[in-house]
Structure 1
Amino acid sequence: MRARVVRAALALGLTAPLLTGCFEEPSPHEAVRDFLVGWQTGDYAAAARRADGDQAAVRKALEDARLQLDAASIRFSLKGISLDDETARAAFHAEVDLGENNPLWQYDGALPMHLVGGQWKVRWSPSVIHPDLHAGQRLAVATVPKGRRPILDRAGNPLQDETMLHVAGVTPAEVKDPAHLCEQLSKITGFAQDRLLSRVLSSPPQDFVPLATFGRTKFAQLKSKLEAIGGLRFEIDNAPVAPKSPTQIVGVVTAITPEAEQRLGGPQRAGDTLGRDGLQKAYQDQLTGSTETRVVVLDNATGRQVKELKAWPGRENEPVRTTIDSRLQSAGDAAVAGSRPAALVAVKASTGEVLAVSTNQLHQEGDALAGKYAAGTAFSIIATEGLLRAGLDPKQKVPCSSDRTVGGARFQQPGVDGVTVPSFQTDFAQGCVTALASLARRINGQAISRSAQQFGIGSGWKLPLRTFSGSVPAAQGDAAVAKIIAGQGAKVSPLAMALVAGAVKSGTWRPPTLVTSPAAPDPAAEEAGGSPAVAPTSLDPAVTAKLRTLMRAGVTSGAAAPATAPGEPVYGVAAQVTQAEKKERTRLSWFVGWQGDVALAVLVKSGDQEAAPAVAGGFFRGAQPQI
């Protein structure tokens, strides 16, 4: 509201000098100035003194016109005055801010003038307000709100169920005392009384005017108080707002609250809903569109429309189509169900499209997409890509010991007694930390950073929701390089690692996609994290083929064996890592791999290394025969 007042004040500051420059009686210029400036600033008494009609009637007509338009401001500019002895005609241009993010209503009008007792007066009639307004008529603003559109999965099915909203409103013609009604409603709901009243007074009297929308629980709490307000009516709106899985990705929708109304500006309308989080918030503008608005002339006696003066069709709203596969989402939800906190992200390996985001006791957006977790030996996929480019032979014997020091940094491998000397393939499949760290001299920090960039780690890709693309610290010296190879210091999200698995499977790393239509969220969401253009990256085919062999061994003979499922072969690695969280140390279990064209990352907060692979296996089995 403050912005509108300032805007009007600035307009007045520019307009008043223009009208007052050097004009005096007996010319009509001073009368024109007094009338238009009084009308513009709301000093209707001053304007009425310059009209030849009953001052009280003129004052009320000008005030009513502003109320009937629910105008945030009215500004005038003088186009010219023509004189003819004792009569004159002043042409003006009007700009009426109807608020509600609508365009300005602009029109040209005229003030017929004549001399009355030696003073110039406006010859009063309703056509002074607008050329098409006549006696027995009034202005009104007719609106047609658009219902909220749904968020859809990749097959076009809605990702939310309909839920009952209760809309409280009035038919103005049936309300004897709208000011009292709005006062009562304001006390109950907290909505500003003046905004409620202006909504009623500006609407066609025979239309149902929505004033407040309530969810089922809130309506039940207030029902008796609301029903006690005489003249208040209620309608039911079955809106598609109750989110299905993935609920935190889809987001919650609420009826607009007084606080939201004040933040957003403009009065509430029936069916007006606000996305509180998830895609419902990111795509609020597209899902709701903008209200169709018409400025009309009505007959006072019948309330019927006489003429339409201006119309704005409003911006069309549209559904948001996602890449979520509801069948795979159900499989993910079933797989993570249990007592341990878990997050699962599945993507289409060949495209980077997000197919499922499932969590248990973790947040789908904050943890699965944007969580910053220690990678542990799940990072070995990325480090091994660099080692293979440096010439490492997977068949090379690399000792796996219970304890090893590299460059002064100590590494330990639980469950190993003494020293074994398997091939690197076996070390990779078993996630042997000491074996991986021992290869620090085969690669430098720059090469590891290059591999990480090829897999999109830290590359800045985003979705309309919060995401974390990962981070890898700079490494100088053997100890620092060894720590990164072993996944110490590297931070990733489950989404980032699902994309890594997809890259190995397809041979090309691709940025994630969650929404296919519309192309981008509204500007506010874009500023908060819209998706920048990040190009896919082709990997070395020979190196990628070796990585696939290593990741197949991770399932057939390694720590990822619990991920085994019928159908196409499963590829993957398992990892165990300890992460400091809120002054506590939490054990994390990882699985990163794929089956068919579905790439998967699973994170489970558990000290059991098989926890994440077991969830992955449950997902792959539950997804049959789709994979």
Structure 2
Amino acid sequence: MDNLADSSGAAYSGASTGGRGPRRKALRAVVAGAVALAVAAGGAYAAGLGPFARDTGPDPAATRQARAFLADWEAGRMPGAADRTTSPAAAEKVLRSFTAGLDIGKPELTAETAAEGEDGTVTVPFTARMPVTGLGTWTYASTLPLREQDDGSWKVEWTLSLVHPRLSDTEKFRLEREETEPPEVTDRDGEKMTGTRFPSLAPLMTRLAGDGGGGASGARGAIHLVDRVTGAVERTEARFGAKTVRADDGPVRTTLDADWQSAAEKALATHADGKNAALVALRIDDGEVLAVANSPSSGFNRALSGTYAPGSTWKIVTSSALLLKGAVAPDDVVDCPRYLTVGKRFQNVELSEHPGATFRKDFTESCNTAFISLRDRLDEGELGAVAREYFGVGQEWHVGAPTYDGSVPVPRDETEKAASMIGQGRVQANPLIMASVTATAVSGTFHQPSLTAGTEDTTDTTPLPRGVVTQLREMLRATVTDGTAKILSGLPGEIGAKTGTAEVSEDQDNNGWLVAHRGNVAIACVVEEGVTGGGSAGPVVRGLLTAVPGDSG
């Protein structure tokens, strides 16, 4: 079955599969007998079961796996959560469609006490608090089944009912919102903005709130359990209602700029070739968002809530981590071979190679193998720590609308560490994040992005040293004048940029990325299945910068 969300918000989910691991009955029988003897003898271990206490009850490894699964799901690390199950492909699709189709923000999943079954399985009950964007929180209880595998590890035995007890092959959930009049929205100068004039803003307008809460005044809706075939409502799981709209609420004033928004939408319509794509432009000095555009303009907001591997645009963060600790300098020779094997074979786009290249050349030509060769100069988890501490990635952002704020997990092995150096593996971002990363790199200071005034800022970051900023700006500029972002050369202003090509799967073309800065504006664009960043996202960004020559400074 397919498991995408339909236009009404229905979450479709595939059927479950699972495996059966070895029993540990023999061991437990021995333990039980030993305990019985100890009690019968009245020994000193009888009260606490002495040395046998650690062998009774559920295996702690099963509980750890359950909690890790919930933590990954809670943080939006769907590939990581799925890998902890007996059916990763099905699990990832269902978890993504469940949260996206029901418009769920960041869930809160709380594990309860584990229990062990007669057949050797372990079950971990949990409470799910699912914030439905703009409506309220849906709370329910479910259970994770875990089974020991042939290699002695534990996996969550995948079944649809663990996501919610009533999710099945015959029933699914559907989110229905009552039609409400969206609030009046203006740009930063007070100019009225409508969904008719700016199609990408239509789905976003009811999510904007002047208090930064991301909700809509007067929003109402419900989550229904429906028959997969007929769509008939079988029961209502949750109802939501909000306060009545007041006449004196007034318009929601945003940070958007009508000229930038119009140019962004036109650039996607003209240059994205009908592919799924998204773009964000924001001010470097304060993080205020000037434009949010999506193609198609209706439906899922890829620009703010998408979860993509950022590909080589992430080399901005990787370079920062290396430069911060003096692990490399721009003029150091870091060879760029065609291939490099770290568990798997990594290669450069179009199988390029640059023998004897400097690190600057590796950056401007986006050499994957050179960056991967430097992986041992960063400690485990250091890339994620730099992303969080200096760029705010993975911290909770309060933008004024629903967002996904990025994830950089600690690599599980050397292959994943190699992949994370080039923005692959489990590194996740979107255009909002990468526009912010670019702004931070060229200014040295992270500013939480914002769409409305008065948003709460709970982030805590450290400024980049001026020397690192200078090096990053120089390499970004060289990428336009001498590297893979030459498509932006010849435009007015001193533009810096970085291209990116992100692998998706063997049966899909790569996603194309490009980030850029000019004046006081940073931009990020992704084009799904765009093959290369310069060839797909490049024309979009060039079209935007051509249409809006000013820098909104």
TM-score range, shorter chain: 0.5 to 0.7
> What is the TM-score normalised by the length of structure 2?
0.56
Question: Among 202, 214, 221, which residue is 1:247 paired with?
Answer: 202
Identity rate, percent = 30
**Counterpart of 1:436?**
371
- State whether structure 2 residue 280 is matched by structure 1 residue 325: no
**Counterpart of 1:450?**
385
**Counterpart of 1:180?**
none
Runs (4+) of structure 1 moved beyond 3 Å?
241-245, 259-263, 282-286, 362-365, 416-419, 476-480
**Counterpart of 1:599?**
522
C-alpha distance in structure 1 between counterparts of 2:243 and 2:470, whole Å? 45
Question: Among 469, 476, 491, which residue is 2:428 paired with?
Answer: 491
Alignment of 1:193-592 (within 5 A): 246-251=201-206, 288-289=245-246, 316-338=248-270, 339=273, 340-361=275-296, 366-391=301-326, 392-406=328-342, 408-416=343-351, 420-453=355-388, 454-475=390-411, 478-489=414-425, 490-516=427-453, 519=454, 533-535=458-460, 537-564=462-489, 566-580=491-505, 584-592=507-515
Give ranges in structure 2 of 5+ residues lacking alignment. Answer: 1-180, 209-217, 223-239
Say if 1:565 and 1:602 are closer, same or farther in 2 by CA, change over 3 A.
farther
Given that 1:332 and 1:344 are in contact with CA atoms closer than 8 Å, whether structure 2 keeps it comes out as yes
* 1:609 positional shift: 3.3
C-alpha distance in structure 2 between counterparts of 1:149 and 1:261, whole Å? 14
C-alpha distance in structure 2 between counterparts of 1:332 and 1:463, whole Å? 19
Q: Cα deviation per residue 1:345-377 (whole Å; 9 max; x = unaligned)? A: 001010011100112226586210010001111
Given that 1:501 and 1:592 are in contact with CA atoms closer than 8 Å, whether structure 2 keeps it comes out as yes
* 1:418 positional shift: 5.8
Q: Tell me, what secondary structure is at the counterpart of 1:538?
A: coil
Given that 2:207 and 2:401 are in contact with CA atoms closer than 8 Å, whether structure 1 keeps it comes out as no
Given that 1:246 and 1:358 are in contact with CA atoms closer than 8 Å, whether structure 2 keeps it comes out as yes
Give ranges in structure 1 of 5+ residues lacking alignment. Answer: 1-146, 162-240, 254-258, 264-281, 291-315, 521-530
C-alpha distance in structure 1 between counterparts of 2:504 and 2:431, whole Å? 15
> What is the TM-score normalised by the length of structure 1?
0.50
Residues matched between the structures, number: 338
Given that 1:565 and 1:617 are in contact with CA atoms closer than 8 Å, whether structure 2 keeps it comes out as no
Say if 1:513 and 1:262 are closer, same or farther in 2 by CA, change over 3 A.
closer
Q: Cα deviation per residue 1:259-296 (whole Å; 9 max; x = unaligned)? A: 98897xxxxxxxxxxxxxxxxxx99869x326xxxxxx
Given that 1:343 and 1:364 are in contact with CA atoms closer than 8 Å, whether structure 2 keeps it comes out as no
Letter in 2 for 1:395: D
* 1:533 positional shift: 2.2
The one of the two structures with greater contact order (alpha-carbon pairs below 8 A, sep at least 6) is 2
Q: Cα deviation per residue 1:122-173 (whole Å; 9 max; x = unaligned)? A: xxxxxxxxxxxxxxxxxxxxxxxxx986211100011128xxxxxxxxxxxx
Say if 1:549 and 1:405 are closer, same or farther in 2 by CA, change over 3 A.
same
C-alpha distance in structure 2 between counterparts of 1:367 and 1:148, whole Å? 21
Structure with more of its chain in strand, by fraction: 1
Given that 2:391 and 2:461 are in contact with CA atoms closer than 8 Å, whether structure 1 keeps it comes out as no
Given that 1:358 and 1:364 are in contact with CA atoms closer than 8 Å, whether structure 2 keeps it comes out as no
Q: Tell me, what secondary structure is at the counterpart of 1:594?
A: strand
C-alpha distance in structure 2 between counterparts of 1:438 and 1:261, whole Å? 53
Q: Tell me, what secondary structure is at the counterpart of 1:343?
A: strand
* 1:572 positional shift: 0.9
Say if 1:285 and 1:425 are closer, same or farther in 2 by CA, change over 3 A.
farther
* 1:320 positional shift: 0.9
C-alpha distance in structure 2 between counterparts of 1:497 and 1:284, whole Å? 34
Say if 1:148 and 1:378 are closer, same or farther in 2 by CA, change over 3 A.
closer
C-alpha distance in structure 1 between counterparts of 2:518 and 2:314, whole Å? 19
Given that 1:357 and 1:364 are in contact with CA atoms closer than 8 Å, whether structure 2 keeps it comes out as no
Say if 1:361 and 1:423 are closer, same or farther in 2 by CA, change over 3 A.
same
**Counterpart of 1:157?**
191
**Counterpart of 1:293?**
none
Q: Tell me, what secondary structure is at the counterpart of 2:285?
A: coil
Say if 1:242 and 1:317 are closer, same or farther in 2 by CA, change over 3 A.
farther
**Computing the radius of gyration over CA atoms, which structure comes out larger, 1 or 2?**
1
Given that 2:202 and 2:298 are in contact with CA atoms closer than 8 Å, whether structure 1 keeps it comes out as no
**Counterpart of 1:19?**
none
